[in-house]
Chains A and B, each alone.
Chain A
Amino acid sequence: AAAMSVNADLRRERAAATFQPELLTHILDGGPERTRRRKEIEALVLNDPDFQHEDLNFLSRSQRYEQAIRKSSLMVMKLREYGIADPEEIYWFKSFVHRGRPEPLDLHLGMFLPTLLTQATPEQQDRFFMPAWNLEIIGTYAQTEMGHGTHLRGLETTATYDPSTQEFILNSPTVTSIKWWPGGLGKTSNHAIVLAQLYTQGQCKGLHAFIVPIRQLGTHEPLPGITVGDIGPKFGYDEMDNGYLKMDNFRIPRENMLMKYAQVEPDGTYVKPVSDKLTYGTMVFIRSLIVGDSARSLSRACTIAIRYSAVRHQSELKPGEPEPQILDYQTQQYKLFPLLATAYAFHFVGAYIKDTYHRISGDISTGDLSELPELHALTAGLKAFTSWTANAGIEECRMACGGHGYSRCSGIPDIYVTFTPSCTYEGENTVMMLQTARFLMKSYTQVTSGQQVTGMVSYLNDLSRQRIQPQHVAARTVTVRINDPTSLVEAYKSRAARLVESAAKNLQAELNHRRSKEDAWNRTSVDLVRASEAHCHYVIVKLFTAKLAEVSDAAVRAVLTELCLLYALFGISRNAGDFLQAGILTSAQITQVNQHVKELLAVIRPNAVALVDSFDFHDVHLGSVLGRYDGNVYENMFEWAKKSPLNKTQVHESFHKHLKPMQAKL
């Protein structure tokens, strides 16, 4: 299409904003210098003709895989050519090349290489690292099996040590033990780090990691004893060859077990690892990435839905007047603005976890890991909380775009299918919530036995002081000022305390019925998940509120304060029952909260477009006709549709094959 000017509605929206979007972009990026560098890398990729291709929506899965492989090889080459080495900068580069989608080398770059670095002996690094760095070896990380995911101890693949040949014999003894899902395993990789139950001297020593060659170097054919392939079509992840791997008496040398920590000696003697706390660190790091991903995916969906809602006109608000922008309808604002506020909240939470992780991992070398267990427990819950919320939020954004949201050209279907697996991978969300709950219960027990707890759970300390009173801890009269974020943090804190206490008491009651620990835990798990959710919700409101004080520009602070209030009040409105039941708020106050939410919608309305502009997604990265920066939606939908595969010929071959013969016969 010819160059078109920016749609008048969007121009008006941008002119009416009360703050400068760039300033907010800087805050999200972590400073103006980071923004500059991000845009530099973005331009590097987007202006590179090597990374251009047809709209992926019109390609088959095989074609999409092929495009991804092509781009990934070039990407690796160019990253080195440009000397980009900072992890965040690599992340940007990759994300611009693949437009936020996964790619077949993800596991090689993100898991195989790092695992070699952290778990291989120097000898193993000599053998594997450089070839892998040069992509002669492409590896993946094969953990999940058909029958087991999050519950790692249940994995069934075996690695049995044979001292006579000094080899491990790898086997997939059952159908359920077939490795299933690892990215890049199906077609791309020639090696895999395989997690298997180690058997030596007749004893099972638990899960260990082994480097297993799976395809012949040179021909790329599977090696004898190896059955490997692609697991077939999925909801999304079309670019990724998630694979299966079945091993039948496949032998690898003893030296292929990753032995930096645990070891098997030539005679089969097993040497235990020292500590496993370090693996906590990796998990925390990956979960912090998912929290950031929740924020970004939701931000993209909000950008599309809010720009489109400013462009689309429909029906009438006032008799006789022109059709209004759909963003002027209260119901539309009520769908989208709380999600916009949520996206901002999650950005700040993601940044907080990342910073805390970097601060603590600084301590790992000096030996102070005391904060790690809490951070580990907290990130489990936050990973689940943010990914669940973003998952639902993306769908709400799509629904808010009506019929056109359903078309692939809106880009939201792709965001959703790419994002939704994060509710499952790196720890299934319900299991994650229960991990956080376990920490909460432990902290609660400490408090009731007279100990003090620190960190985000320190509000539990108040419980012992309240103990003399017969009613719920939270039932003390908190004067909640609904215009004051700090006061709302207190309200969320009381709710968390109440739900943690209630879950703990219910758990105790089950135990008093002489149920086994596991059984009692299971019978309380719905309560426990609620407690975790309330705890996470409190942490998010608290972090968002704390962020406000750091913002120096008054106009930006004002608009972020409105978003923070909306986030907190909307959460209360949605979970009113918890606040009412605990006596934290009265019915009259809830009515006020509901009213105030609606007032905030109107307050935020003039800044809505500027607030999504601040996320600063390039059109190419956004991948949406509805969410284009220039707002020329309808013209471009038509242009897009013309490229549909069904339109390749004017008369579809089905006419000659089926329709015409039928018409002739009838």
Chain B
Amino acid sequence: SVNPDLGSERQTASFSVERLTALLDGGAEQTRIRRAVVEAIESDPVFSRENQYFQTQNERYEAAVRKAVHLQKKMHEMGWTENGPEYKYIYRALSGDVAFLLHHVFMRSISVLGSDKQIAKWIPLATQHKLIGSYAQTELGHGTYLQGLETTAVFDTATQEFILNTPKISAMKWWPGDMGRSATHTVVFAQLYIHEKCYGIHPFIVQIRSLQDHSLCPGITAGDIGPKMNFEHIDNGYLLLKNVRVPRENMLSKFCEVRPDGTYVRQGSQKINYFTMTTVRISLISDEVLTPLMKACTIAIRYSVVRRQSKLKPGEQEAKILDYQTQQEKLLPQLAAAYAFYFTNDYLQELFNRGYREIQRKNFDMLPELHALSSGFKAVITQHCTAGVEICLRACGGHGYSLLSGLPSLYTKILASCIYEGENTILLLQTARFLIKCFMAASAGQPVPPSVTYLAAVKHGKCPAKNKLDFLSPDIYIEAYQHVAVRLTSNTAAKLQDLIQSGVKKHDAWNQCTVQLVQAAKAHCHYIAVKNFAETVEKLETKAGIQKIMKHLCDLFALHGIFSNTGAFLHDGYTSAAQMDMVTASYLDLLAVIRKDAVPLVDAFDFTDKSLNSALGSYDGHVYQRLYEWAQRSPTNQMSPAYERYLKPLLHNTLSKL
């Protein structure tokens, strides 16, 4: 039976939960397929995550390998294929707790960077798991800045081989997943040298472990990089290469080739390659970033209607903590952000699909815009969602700190997303570079891509809102966001020009403006997210209360952004002090409105208890019983040697003689 405190929340939903779920999935049929996949995975004991919180790094790794191997069998059994409709739900159903993810990156890099001949040779081997691949780009000394990588690959014309080396300690490959223990092969990125001339970074397929007994190949030193904040199940690895020779054919050569005589030949356009890199940034948003935030909201909000603390009215029962305004103010904006970014992700996916079609027609015009949007949104969404999960964690008080709440592992996992696939500050600066360029072009009357045409329309008006209800009008807040984005971009552009005109070198001027540039890039993304949310709401079905509740969330998302960054909106007087009080009033009113639908709104995410793996967040709300039961399973409650060895002598008076 369901805890009545949670049950009662569901009876008053203002909208149909099932319809909202279908909307999020992209249709009822998709919901059906997803549920079938989840059911198949969760009913299979091999995929269980039941004891995950009690396991050591070694046990987690072994379980992940076992699951990866079993998954092959399962897919075959279920008739799921990599191109089938079920495929995208498998990873979500496993909560990412599986090995060999880099194997897919290995395969993708060969498909994208390899010649037809290389694809024909390696892809079948990889598909059949005759080998296990990894992807070795990052080094101890270099991450996002790829040109700085120090691994070398020197072409030896005599033997038609590349000789790979790790010339110094900082050049050691560091972090690649699956490489510490599992992989037999990896794609190594190295500086290519031919006849002592450096040609820059190129990818090479290198075998690192024997296919017979898994021992390391000659010249290879590899291992696990040690414990991290999360990803205990992944063997992130290091790799040291000492005169490792690979045949000439192992350089991935779709775009450039080294001929037998050492001639270096460029071929085709790299643009499609850049597009792929850009796509990866977008592809991680859904599973790696939105899902953890949605799960964290589900756990924290359900727990907040079960937990009662202190009294709101004398003589009454203790209040649900979600009834406290301060608790609403922590959690509900995170919930709104989860929905907002869910729709941003849809928007980006659509844009990228269009971009892909254009690129296939050899039209590369959209690339700069796609690159800017993917960089900026990767940074903004990962940062926002990471902060959101942490807020959810801390909003659950002491119990949130227990691993059994599920929240610490969601947090430690999502926060890695701020670093991989491009460090966020650097990505924001790339978006800013695009913005400044477009702003200059727009000011000069030249055409600019659609997402930035607003930069041309610099208005110096004032916010027209007259009362607090006006701030529930998307036109009002979208324009406010637009105003801030334009102001930050144009001010920074002006500052840059001033500096350069006063004799400061271009790169120095750029570094002196980077703090402002980052702010401009964020404002741009925030504006697009708000605008897109409002436009999405506009198009939603009016039936079943869906549009109404989404409108509330959109308003909350927008007003929370203003409320937590009032300075940007008050600056230059666009919004007046009195208007800011209206924003605050409207914002606080909305919290109380959305409070009523908070539980149905997280129910709509449709996570099973097994996927939440949380003693606090389960559907039935039996929080305390579950916490107690799970704690008793902890290995620390089996007899520990500490008593015999240390406690006993301690308690038995060995100290009293002092």
Contacts and interface: CB of A to CB of B under 8 A. Distances in A.
B268 interface: no
Contacts of B323: 522
Interface stretch (B435-443, B462-470, B563-571): B563-571
B326 interface: yes
Contacts of B486: none
A58 interface: yes
Given A409-B226, A583-B577, A330 B512 contact: yes
B394 A57 contact: no
Q: Which DSSP category, helix, strand, loop or mixed, fits chain B's interface?
A: helix
Contacts of B223: 641-642, 644, 646-647
Contacts of A524: 325
Interface string A457-491: 00000000000000000000000000000000000
Contacts of A70: 642, 645-646
B162 to A, nearest CB: 24
A527 B148 CA distance: 49
Contacts of A395: 390, 415
B201 interface: no
A178 B132 CA distance: 49
B226 A654 contact: no
B309 A154 contact: yes
B459 interface: no
A231 to B, nearest CB: 5
Contacts of B310: 151, 153-154
A351 to B, nearest CB: 27
A663 B129 contact: yes
A236 B283 CA distance: 32
A646 B235 CA distance: 8
B312 A522 contact: yes
A578 interface: yes
Considering residues B329, B518, B567, which has the most beta carbons from chain A within 10 angstroms of its beta carbon?
A: B567
Contacts of B132: 659
A587 B577 CA distance: 12
A451 interface: no
Contact of B511 (A190, A317, A391, A408): A317
Given A73-B646, A659-B214, A666 B394 contact: no
Contact of B643 (A187, A315, A317): A187
Contact of A516 (B182, B313, B329, B512): B313
B215 A651 contact: yes
Given A580-B567, A658-B69, A69 B636 contact: no
B642 A650 contact: no
Nearest to A138: B651
Contacts of A313: 141
A80 B394 contact: no
Given A66-B641, A69-B646, A406 B228 contact: yes
B143 A136 contact: no
B169 A638 contact: yes
Interface residues of B, number: 133
Interface string A154-175: 1000000000000000000001
Given A175-B624, A424-B394, A135 B655 contact: yes
Contacts of B423: 402
B161 interface: no
A178 B148 CA distance: 57
A521 B182 CA distance: 58
Nearest to B307: A147
A315 B419 contact: no
Contacts of A638: 140, 169, 172, 238
B507 A317 contact: yes
A322 B566 CA distance: 41
A233 interface: yes
A141 interface: no
Interface in A630-657: 634-635, 637-638, 640-647, 650-655, 657
A334 B512 CA distance: 11
B658 A315 contact: no
B520 to A, nearest CB: 13
A136 B565 CA distance: 57
A232 B61 contact: no
A413 B329 CA distance: 27
Interface in A65-93: 65-66, 69-70, 73, 76-77, 80-81
A526 B403 contact: no
Interface stretch (B81-89, B370-378, B627-635): B627-635
B145 A315 contact: yes
B96 interface: no
Contact of B140 (A181, A522, A634, A659): A634
A440 to B, nearest CB: 16
Interface string A376-419: 00000000000000010001000100110111110001000100
Nearest to B516: A594
B314 interface: yes
B267 to A, nearest CB: 28
Contact of A662 (B69, B238, B508): B69
A659 to B, nearest CB: 7
A428 B223 CA distance: 43
Interface string B247-262: 0000000000000000
Considering residues A69, A232, A663, which has the most beta carbons from chain B within 10 angstroms of its beta carbon?
A: A232
Given A331-B515, A402-B419, A577 B325 contact: no
A421 B172 CA distance: 37
B360 interface: no
Contact of A408 (B138, B226, B565): B226
A651 to B, nearest CB: 5
Contact of B397 (A149, A332, A526, A640): A149
Considering residues A76, A175, A577, A642, which has the most beta carbons from chain B within 10 angstroms of its beta carbon?
A: A577
Contact of A136 (B404, B514, B651): B651
B566 to A, nearest CB: 3
B214 A135 contact: no
A136 B398 contact: no
B632 to A, nearest CB: 6
A425 interface: yes
B69 A659 contact: yes
Contacts of A647: 180, 223-224
Contacts of A318: 505, 507-508
A663 B226 contact: no
A104 to B, nearest CB: 9
Contact of B398 (A425, A637, A660): A425
B646 A413 contact: no
Contacts of A646: 57-58, 61, 180-181, 223-224, 226, 235
Contacts of B412: 413
Contacts of B514: 329-331
A294 interface: no
B364 interface: no
A323 interface: yes
Contacts of A136: 651-653, 656
A188 B308 CA distance: 31
A217 B643 contact: no
Given A151-B310, A644-B224, A652-B61, A334 B325 contact: no
A146 B570 contact: no
A304 to B, nearest CB: 15
A660 B132 CA distance: 11
B332 to A, nearest CB: 12
7 contacts: A234-B403, A407-B228, A525-B325, A526-B325, A578-B567, A645-B227, A654-B182
Interface of B: 53-54, 56-58, 61-62, 65-66, 69, 72, 128-130, 132, 138, 140-145, 148, 169-170, 172, 174-175, 180-182, 211, 213-216, 223-229, 235, 238, 307-314, 318, 323-327, 329-330, 390, 394, 397-404, 408, 412, 415-416, 418-420, 423-426, 429, 505, 507-508, 511-512, 514-516, 518, 565-573, 577, 580, 584, 588, 624-625, 627-628, 630-637, 640-643, 645-653, 655-656, 658
Instruction: List the 8 shortest-distance A-B pairs measured between CB atoms, nearest first.
Output: A577-B566, A576-B567, A646-B224, A232-B634, A644-B226, A577-B567, A230-B636, A235-B408
